[in-house]
């Protein structure tokens, strides 16, 4: 495959955690990766200038979604996949959480993915194997005490993806959802040791997932699962059973 035939994929939240893992997995597969960052790009990418493109992207800023897509198409002339991974978590029981903060969690998580999908669709429609993956959470499927805002946002992504899948199937664009369980990243670093143990005990596989495991699931949906659209893939070690 020549360089200009290589699939180009935009991954948001690629500066660390699951997004950085997805970017590494795609690079391992020989893809070109545009890595969305909000604060600073992953410095590990400095050595791969022709295969990686850092793009600034903020979930809360619709204009940054359009600019990120433009950066990719200007640089590589194509966009084949989008993985909407960036997300933010704030916990707290409904009655304890400030209503403004509650809505910010819902809005930021849903708004950014919708803006990015909207901006990316014209470019994706020109690809031979276009796809969008939205990273939700198993918490959005089965609920979790202290997570009404985050779970609302993540559940909304499922309805969003299934509706969008119906809108864009005729253009050949697949839209799928990945719902991870608990994964070792900065997002879960603050979980107290006792709660971590309780979560691991409640997980059939007896542990948190790794970034690499979730990255392989995301990549599967993005490029291997060619007969899947509107699907929700749970990757939670059996926690939700
Ligand atoms: N870890 C888990 O257990 C778990 C479980 C289920 C689902 N998830 C979901 O998986 C995704 C990745 O989570 P993670 O664990 O890798 O989280 P993380 O380690 O906290 O990393 C979050 C990533 O999202 C980016 N981000 C945060 N707020 C953003 C914003 N407003 N605009 C643009 N980018 C923003 C961060 O960029 P900066 O570096 O610039 O802040 C970072 O790259 C999220 O959608 C999360 O909800 C995680």
The pLDDT value given to residue 51? 92
The pLDDT value given to residue 44? 75
Contact 199, 208 (CB under 8 A): yes
- Indicate whether residue 22 lines ligand 1 (CB < 6 A): no
Instruction: Please report the atom of ligand 1 found closest to the CA of residue 208.
Output: 3
The pLDDT value given to residue 5? 64
* Per-residue model confidence as pLDDT tens for the chain (241 residues): 445 568 999 999 999 999 999 999 999 999 999 999 999 887 777 677 789 999 999 999 999 999 999 999 999 999 999 999 999 999 999 999 999 999 999 999 999 999 999 999 999 999 999 999 999 999 999 999 999 999 999 999 999 999 999 999 999 999 999 999 999 999 999 888 899 999 999 999 999 999 999 999 999 999 999 999 999 999 999 999 9
The pLDDT value given to residue 2? 47
Sequence-separated (6 or more) residues with CB below 8 Å from residue 53: 32, 33, 34, 35, 71, 72, 75, 76
Instruction: Please report the atom of ligand 1 found closest to the CA of residue 89.
Output: 47
Task: Give the residue, out of 83, 87, 232, with the most ligand 1 atoms within 8 A of its beta carbon, to mutate for a pocket test.
Answer: 87
The pLDDT value given to residue 41? 81
Instruction: Please report the atom of ligand 1 found closest to the CA of residue 17.
Output: 16
- Indicate whether residue 236 lines ligand 1 (CB < 6 A): no
- Indicate whether residue 191 lines ligand 1 (CB < 6 A): no
- Write down the architecture of domain 3-235 according to CATH: 3-Layer(aba) Sandwich (3.40)
- Indicate whether residue 59 lines ligand 1 (CB < 6 A): yes
Q: Where are the domains of the chain?
A: 3-235
Active site residues: 150
Distance 1 CA to ligand 1 centre (A): 32
Provide the 8-state DSSP code for 46: G
Sequence-separated (6 or more) residues with CB below 8 Å from residue 99: none
CA distance 24 to 26: 5
Sign of CA dihedral 38, 39, 40, 42: negative
Q: Which is nearest to 174 in space by CA: 80, 94, 241, 103?
A: 80
The pLDDT value given to residue 40? 87
- Indicate whether residue 13 lines ligand 1 (CB < 6 A): yes
């Amino acid at each position: 495959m020549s360089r200009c035939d290589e699939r180009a994929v935009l991954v948001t939240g690629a500066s660390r955690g699951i997004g950085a893992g997805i970017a590494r997995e795609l690079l391992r597969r020989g893809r070109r990766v545009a890595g969305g960052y909000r604060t600073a790009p992953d410095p590990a990418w400095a050595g791969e200038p022709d295969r990686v493109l850092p793009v600034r992207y903020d979930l809360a800023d619709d204009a940054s979604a359009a600019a990120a897509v433009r950066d990719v198409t200007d640089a590589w002339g194509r966009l084949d996949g989008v993985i909407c991974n960036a997300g933010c978590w704030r916990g707290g029981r409904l009655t304890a959480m400030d209503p403004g903060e509650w809505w910010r969690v819902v809005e930021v998580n849903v708004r950014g993915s919708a803006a990015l999908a909207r901006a990316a669709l014209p470019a994706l429609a020109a690809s031979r194997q276009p796809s969008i993956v939205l990273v939700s959470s198993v918490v959005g499927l089965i609920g979790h005490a202290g997570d009404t805002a985050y779970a609302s946002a993540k559940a909304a992504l499922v309805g969003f993806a299934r509706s969008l899948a119906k809108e864009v199937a005729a253009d050949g664009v697949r839209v799928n959802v990945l719902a991870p369980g608990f994964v070792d990243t900065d997002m879960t670093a603050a979980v107290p040791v006792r709660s971590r143990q309780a979560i691991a005990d409640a997980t059939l596989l007896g542990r948190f997932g790794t970034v690499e495991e979730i990255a392989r699931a995301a990549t599967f949906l993005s490029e291997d699962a060619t007969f899947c659209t509107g699907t929700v893939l749970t990757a939670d070690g059996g926690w939700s059973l």
